[in-house]
Amino acid sequence: MTKKQKTMLVRILAATVILLVLQSLSAETFNELDQFLFLSAGRWIRLFCYLIVYAIIGYDIIQKALKGIKNGQVFDENFLMAVATVGALSLAVYENGEYLEAIAVMLFYQIGEWFQRYAVGKSRRNISDLMDIRPDYANVERNNKLEQVDPDEVGIGSVIVVQPGEKVPIDGVIVEGTSSLNTSALTGESLPREANTGDEIISGCINMTGVLRIQTTKEFGESTVSKILDLVENASSRKSKSEDFISKFARIYTPAVCYAALALALLPPIVRMFFMDLPAVWGVWIYRALTFLVISCPCALVISIPLSFFAGIGGASKAGVLVKGSNYLEILSQTKYVVFDKTGTLTQGVFEVNGIHHNEMEKEKLIEYAALAESASSHPISKSLQRAYGKQIDRSRVTDIQEISGNGVIAKVDGVEVAAGNDKLMKHIHVKPINCHQVGTIIHLAINGKYAGHIVISDIVKPHLKEAIAALKRAGIEKTVMLTGDAKKVAEQVAESLEIDQVYSELLPADKVSKVEELLKMKGAKDKLAFVGDGINDAPVLSRADIGIAMGAMGSDAAIEAADVVLMDDDPMKIATAIKISRKCLKIVYQNISVAIGVKLICLILGAVGIANMWLAIFADVGVMILAVLNAIRALFVKKLEL
């Protein structure tokens, strides 16, 4: 609870106690003062006591209303409450009636406002706790001692030390040490991740076990933690259509009800006097108009709708899903088409040897020749061959390396000529390869001009991906599509194994944009299309789709910049989780809009015809607001999807 909230709570309690004391004293108690004082002193003392209570509980509302009038922004909830309560007090003075209703309206309004501020504060604290990744310092070693410095002062290439229990302050590469990392604040995943020398590490993780020495690769302002915090802090600035509607609605609605209340106070008495020859009963109609004003206060709408989206963004953060604004949350809830990039999104982007077919040579020898021949290349295929070999590469054994672009490599290994590459390379050296029926990238090998066998290399599909696609379909996604630059045979096998509805293969980056544009034209007007990419080379497509989702790109600058939604780990189930969160949030928003408008319309009619009094007005305003706020907070809590 903030200092301001504590002060407001003291004011509420003080006003409540004094009001209860005054109510325990009957009007006759004050009238008895007339026997000792002159005129109607008891009545005025009673009024003065109630005005003290009113001042304690409502002085800031009066100040805000006067400030709004001074700045030309007259019609807001402060103006409505000020006019209604001051008018009700004046009417009570004129008729020598009860002051309780007028002061109770202000008291309950302030209780509702305090509750709303507390709820918003709780939502902010929940997000702050979930995203508690901002580092307070970085450890730099100087003169054999660790000094704590501001992370902003640490330059690129500096070596920092992160001890057990400390947050990693800046992105970098581990140069010494091994440890387990807690990434739950970033990914929502409670399981620790192992980190070893040579691994990249991003800021925001918590070092759990060993001491790590990290060489920084970014400045603090460009590191993952800074970008994520900036993203979350600015999310509320991007408003949804529902929020824009409520803002425009309030600007029209508030003046309209003020003029309607004025008409209710003046027109019926005038009609009664001049056209019906009946008493005007001004007090009755002014009271109805004041009740009308209290009922009409749009607090439930103006407060609960933004709070619902804010809570939805907080709930998504807890699940490791960063949403850049409530407008994207709204679009995500309307998504019916999900388009996936393949490499790095559906697959891990890590190629591995999963098949070795040989003639007379042993498997181990075939892999050894292939790995050594490809040892000078940095291509992912070459790296996968070297990993499969599993031993230290002795480059001195390799000579006369010829890399034939688009075909493969010819080199001498221990004086033996080794050719490793595709069908084109075999044709180039006049060797007939044997066809492979296994799907993947095929590396043919020829030793001294004689065919020796082939190695199958393929990308690994991410775990639980089939379940994730099924979860999307259960969530109401009508069509799933895969785009890839891979060969048709490879692409179709992956799509079939994952039960993806449609696949487009052998695409260049520009072709992916064209395909997304075609799909955008095919879908329904109200349906939205989401593109899921790795955020590194898919920026054009992420920007072109209705909503771009960067998947499996934790720490990627391109993901954070290009995507509208960032999934902070490789878990494919997070896509369905993000859609579930958005739909729950929008459901809450529509519930609050329907209940708030419905209750107010009914109470406004009852107030206009004299059935509703100030107490019902308090429920229509404060009661509905509290119910809407409680409903909005539900968006913070999202059940984890089961596989």
So which residues are the catalytic ones?
Answer: 341
Give, in order, the Cα–Cα distances in Å from 449 to each of 143, 227, 356, 366: 61, 55, 19, 14
Residue 174 near residue 199, CB atoms below 8 Å: yes
* Euclidean distance between CA atoms 70 and 474, whole angstroms: 55
* Euclidean distance between CA atoms 225 and 202, whole angstroms: 8
Only one residue has tokens 């949030």, namely 585
Instruction: Using DSSP bridges, classify how beta strands 528-533 and 335-341 pair: parallel, antiparallel or unpaired.
Output: parallel
Residue 419 near residue 435, CB atoms below 8 Å: no
Work out the burial of residue 499: count CB atoms within 10 Å of its CB; fewer than 13 is exposed, 13-18 middle, 19 or more buried.
exposed
Residue 451 near residue 433, CB atoms below 8 Å: yes
Q: What does the block give as tokens for 32? A: 């008895």
Q: What does the block give as tokens for 612? A: 């509703």
Q: What does the block give as tokens for 538? A: 């898919």
How does 22-37 read in b/e, with b if 16+ C-beta sit within 10 Å? beeeeeeebeeeeeee
Give, in order, the Cα–Cα distances in Å from 427 to each of 18, 220, 360, 401, 443: 98, 53, 21, 19, 13
Residue 282 near residue 269, CB atoms below 8 Å: yes
What are the backbone angles phi and psi of residue 598, rounded to the nearest 5°?
Answer: -60, -50
What are the backbone angles phi and psi of residue 58, rounded to the nearest 5°?
Answer: -125, 5
Q: Which residues on neighbouring strands pair with residue 174, listed in sequence order? A: 214
Give the 3-state DSSP-derived string for 496-557, with helices as H, strands as E and coil as C: HHHCCCEEECCCCHHHHHHHHHHHHHHCCCCCEEEEEECCCCCHHHHHHCCEEEECCCCCCH
Any idea what DSSP says for residue 97? -
Q: What does the block give as tokens for 448? A: 């001294």
Give the 3-state DSSP-derived string for 56-93, with helices as H, strands as E and coil as C: HHHHHHHHHHHHHHHCCCCCCHHHHHHHHHHHHHHHHH
Work out the burial of residue 461: count CB atoms within 10 Å of its CB; fewer than 13 is exposed, 13-18 middle, 19 or more buried.
middle
Q: Which residues on neighbouring strands pair with residue 212, listed in sequence order? A: 162
Residue 471 near residue 573, CB atoms below 8 Å: yes
Q: What is the CA radius of gyration of the chain?
A: 35
Q: How many CB atoms lie within 10 A of CB 190?
A: 8
* Euclidean distance between CA atoms 264 and 287, whole angstroms: 10
For 607, the 3-state DSSP assignment is helix
